Copies of this chain bind each other. A is one copy, B any other.
Amino acid sequence: MNFNTILGSVDFLEHLRGKKATFLLAGSVTKTCEIPNISQAGIPGKLYLTPTLDAEFLCLKTVRSLEDIAQTPKGVPTPALITRAVHELKPFSNLEILDLGLEVKPQLNYFKIHDFAINPSVRIDDGAQINAMEIFQKGLEFGTNYESSDDYVILAESVPSGTTTANASAKALGYKCDAYFSSSFKDVPNDIKNSTINEALKRVQKDDDVFAKLSKVSDNMLIFNAGFILGSTSKNLKVILAGGTQMATVLLIVNSILESMQGEIDSSNIALCTTKWIDEDENSNIKALLEQLNFPINTYASTFDFSDSLHPALKLYDEGEAKEGVGCGAALCYAAINGVNKKELTSKIESFLG
């Protein structure tokens, strides 16, 4: 197992080799996921459950809030399986859940679930109705005060239809986005996504500031994590943003906030890690998104794929049906810098599918 450097140099990830990581899973629901066929990240009609189930599976290898693991209609298993498999072979030192507006609280004892009194956000084609400043400040405060006894923090997300809200957010903030955003669909349902995004963007006014824009078109995870990142730099916490284009959007939001405040960031302790499936995705371009930042960002992609597996459900990843989520790309990079064997990891993931 290994990783590729998309932006920056190998040094950041290499110097974390063998070091201890806390894994934070930020779960959030935007009711955008209720728009039919907008995402395949979960069970149709029950996508609001996906982050809850992902949190349970990641922590416990079982789901409690539903009888089965979230599966998409085509049978693509949640990337939580990948992250969980890494956690079994080379455990993170600490797992915590950030509740950034879940419909259903994960049924977990002993695990820390941070409650920020955040509600699920409204469909972006209904105006999202987020108090973006408040969510941002909650993230900022959490990032500023977060104490870890580990060497670095992996910050992951589970937000069904989150690529749609991310795309809308980046576009509202004026970034070049066309063909840069991935989706959990292979045959990207651009009509539904684009019409939703366009509908959402209609509400954005020219003289809206960053937070006014985000209030109308974004999701809690994006805004909160932008605050977290800015807060974390005040104490030199090393943070790996674990995800694809959604986490890239977190950084675009950070960038816009800094621009509006004429502020600066020392981004040397922040990196982004994603999957090979995002890195090689022809329908998106994470590098092009990140190159619009005014600050450098070390960016890596795991080289892991399912070439050692014959399992048809897993092969769907290699075919582009699913690409990221639940921090699986960063988990795979973590596995790579901690001596996890590809064959053993593949078998472990297969074992979850029976």
Contacts and interface: CB of A to CB of B under 8 A. Distances in A.
Contact of A109 (B9, B88, B90): B9
Contacts of A339: 88-91
A11 B93 contact: no
Contacts of A259: none
From DSSP, what is the main secondary structure of chain A's interface residues? Answer: loop
A110 B11 contact: yes
B62 A10 contact: yes
Interface in A98-113: 108-111
A344 interface: yes
A87 B10 contact: no
Contacts of A61: 10, 14
Contacts of A11: 59-60, 108-111
Interface string A310-349: 0000000000000000000000000001110100100000
B12 A109 contact: yes
Nearest to A109: B11
A61 B337 CA distance: 12
Interface stretch (A15-23, A124-132, A207-215, A217-225): A15-23
A303 interface: no
B89 A12 contact: no
A87 B338 CA distance: 9
Nearest to A150: B18
Given A9-B109, A109-B9, A341-B344, A94 B18 contact: yes
A142 interface: no
B60 A94 contact: no
Contacts of A341: 344
A338 B20 CA distance: 13
B18 A110 contact: no
A18 B338 contact: no
A92 interface: yes
Contacts of A111: 11, 14-15
A20 B93 CA distance: 8
Given A89-B339, A339-B88, A341-B344, A19 B110 contact: no
14 contacts: A10-B61, A11-B59, A11-B109, A11-B111, A14-B60, A14-B61, A15-B110, A15-B111, A17-B88, A17-B92, A18-B93, A18-B94, A91-B337, A341-B344
Interface of A: 9-12, 14-15, 17-20, 59-62, 87-95, 108-111, 337-339, 341, 344
Given A9-B109, A11-B109, A14-B59, 10 more contacts: A10-B60, A10-B61, A10-B62, A11-B108, A17-B88, A17-B92, A18-B87, A18-B92, A19-B91, A19-B93
